[in-house]
Structure 1
Amino acid sequence: MILAAGRGERMRPLTDKTPKPLLQVAGKPLIQYHVEALAKAGIQNLVVNHAHLGEQIIDFLGTGERWGLSIAYSAEPLGALETGGGIFQALPLLGSEPFWVVNGDVWTNYTFDPIVLSTETLAHLVMVDNPVQHPAGDFVLGSDGRLIDDEGDRFTYSGIGLYRPELFTGCSGGVFPLAPLLREAIAQGMVTGEHFTGRWSDVGTPQRLSALDEVLRGSDA
Structure 2
Amino acid sequence: MKALIFAAGKGTRLKPFTDHHPKALALVNGIPLLERNIKYLQSFGINDFVINVFHFGEQIVEFLKKNDNFGAKIDISDEHDELLETGGGLMFARRFLDFGEDFLIMNADILTNLDLNYFVKFHQEKKDFATLAVSDRKSSRKLLFNPEMILKGWLNVQTGEQRLAEFNKGFKPLAFSGIHCVNPEIFNKIKRTGKFSIMEEYLDLMSLERIHGYEHSADLIDVGKPDSIAEAEKIFK
TM-score (norm 1): 0.87
The match for 1:42 among 45, 60, 63 is 45
Counterparts of 1:106 and 1:119, CA distance in 2: 25
Stretch moving more, 67-76 or 202-211: 202-211
- Aligned-partner Cα distance in 2 for 1:86–1:59: 21
Q: Select 1:137's aligned residue among 129, 137, 142.
A: 142
Residue of structure 1 in register with 2:24 after alignment: 21
Question: Residues 80-91 of structure 1: matches in 2 within 5 Å?
Answer: 80-91=83-94
What is the deviation of 1:103? 0.5
Post-superposition offset of 1:78 = 5.4
Kindly provide the CA deviation profile for residues 42-73 of structure 1, in whole angstroms up to 9, marking residues without a partner as x.
11310000001011111112397563420100
Q: Which residue does 2:222 correspond to in 1?
A: 202
Partner of 2:115: 111
Identify the range of structure 1 (64-73 vs 179-188) with the bigger mean alpha-carbon deviation.
64-73
Number of positions where the alignment pairs a residue of Structure 1 with one of Structure 2: 214
Structure 2 gap segments, 5+ residues each: 154-163
Q: Do the aligned partners of 1:124 and 1:191 also contact (CA within 8 Å) in 2?
A: yes
Judge conservation of contact 1:117–1:124 (CA < 8 Å) in 2. no
For residues 85 and 13 of structure 1, what CA distance do their matches in structure 2 show?
A: 26
Normalized against structure 2, the TM-score is what? 0.81
Q: Quote how far apart the aligned CAs of 1:91 are.
A: 0.9
Q: Which whole-Å CA distance do the structure 2 matches of 1:167 and 1:66 have between them?
A: 28
Aligned to 2:210: 190
**Cα separation, 2, equivalents of 1:129 and 1:172:** 30
Residue type of the alignment partner of 2:150:
R
Instruction: Work out the percentage of aligned pairs sharing the same amino acid.
Output: 29
Match of 1:30 among 30, 33, 50: 33
Runs (4 or more) in structure 1 with deviation over 3 Å come to 63-68, 170-173
Equivalent AA in structure 1 for residue 132 of structure 2? L
Greater Cα offset, 52-61 or 184-193: 184-193
Shift of 1:155: 0.3
Per-residue CA shift, 1:109-148, capped at 9, x if unaligned?
A: 12321435358511010001232xx2452222x3324222
| 2:173 partner letter | R
2:94/2:187 contact within 8 Å kept: no
Deviates more, 1:57-66 or 1:173-182: 57-66
Asked if 1:3 corresponds to 2:6, the answer is yes
Structure 1 residue runs without a partner (length 5+):
none
Aligned AA (1:105): D
Q: Contact 2:64–2:70 (CA<8 Å) still a contact in 1?
A: no
Residue aligned with 1:187, SS: coil
| Contact 1:8 1:19 (C-alpha < 8 Å) held by counterparts | yes
